[in-house]
Amino acid sequence: MRTFFPRRPRLKQAAGRGFSLLEVLVTLALLLIVLTTLMQFMSNVDQVWKSTATDPFAEAANAFETVAHHLAGATLEPYQDYADNTGAFRSAASPVTFTPDHLARRSDLTFVCGSSSGANGWLTASGRVTTGGCAFFIAPRGYTQTNAHLGLDHLLNALGYFVEFSDETDAPAFILPVTHRWRWRLKQLVQPSESLAVYGSATSLPWVQSMVQTGAPTSVLAENIVLLVVLPERAATDTGAALSPDFHYDSRDAGNPLTRHQLPPRLRLALMAIDEPSAQILAAQNGSQPPALVPENLFTVAAQLDADLASLDVALTARKIQHRLFQREILLPAAAWTDTPSS
């Protein structure tokens, strides 16, 4: 006789199946790749931060990039206007006696560079203690102090760069004793769009002097900059005569019909920086007297620029001054260079 037992109810099959071992391994491998990539990225960021914090020339490098970027945006916005038989344009002084003779290239803006000090220096009459070269120009930077103009990124601004020896304290004047920091510094001057003075003079020197007059607001791009050089050059494939044999360039110079109202096709920019420990030693030795680091016989002939930079390197090395040279060729997209003189 058979004995029957009641059947146990079957368990319902799960709606979904579990992960296979292969799928788990693949997932772990992908996760490992993502984590490895992320760790490498974080390591690179950490190295950049550390190098920036420890590199004694990081500030100089950033300043060099700023100057190069702004110089590349220089513009003159030239146009054609009637000139008389001497090459002069109509002005407020001669609105009636002016007799048009031909069309000529003209610009209301300007671009200048050259020595900042010395007999023919752009800043000699400013009372500032400067060295090396300087540059003053117009670029569409969009800087304004008027709320209604905010967001207009192509508004024109006047910009200037030069190296000046000055004192800047670390504390307010009412805190005694006052700590002095006599240093060579790379200065930046930016004139807001609503304060442009470039239209107020027919020549460049009064315009430059008005920008750097006593009390004119300037900002420090970098400390311990001992040399700035801006050399206008022709295009690399152009074998014509040098545009600036002595580093001097003035787009408003009526005595140079070739460069008048023209931007140079490219610029060679050089900047020499020293480290802070060297600057501290120089400050202790010289106090408020500017240390002469760049020999006066250097950087007067453009064709000798490379040799002069090498000589300066040797001179600073001999004095055990740690230094670094930054240099680059900069193309000016707004330049429309032509060998046809403006007359």
Half-sphere exposure at residue 8, Cβ-oriented, CA atoms within 13 angstroms: 3
Residue that is written with structure tokens 């400050």 in the block: 283
Helix ranges (H only) for the chain are 21-54, 58-72, 204-211, 276-286, 305-318
pLDDT of residue 179: 78
Residues with Cβ < 8 Å from 98, sequence gap 6 or more?
A: 84, 88, 90, 91
With vertex at residue 241, the alpha carbon angle to CA 236 and CA 244, rounded to the nearest 5 degrees, is 85
Phi then psi dihedrals of residue 240, to 5 deg: -70, 180
Where would I find the beta strands (DSSP E) of 142-279?
Answer: 157-167, 182-191, 219-223, 225-233, 249-250, 266-274
Q: Which tens digit of pLDDT belongs to each residue from 77-120?
A: 999 999 898 888 887 777 778 889 999 999 999 999 999 998 88
Model pLDDT for residues 302-335, shown as the tens digit of each residue: 999 999 999 999 999 999 999 999 999 999 999 9
Q: Where are the domains of the chain?
A: 57-75+108-331
Q: Looking at per-residue confidence, does 202 or 59 come out higher?
A: 59
Per-residue model confidence (pLDDT) at position 92:
74
Q: Hey, which of 25-39, 57-71, 161-175 has the most confident mean pLDDT?
A: 57-71
Q: What is the chain's alpha carbon radius of gyration, rounded to the nearest angstrom?
A: 31
Nearest C-alpha neighbor of 68 from the set 211, 198, 230: 230
**107/66 Cα distance (integer angstroms):** 26
Whether the link from the prior residue into 177 is cis, omega within 30° of 0, is yes
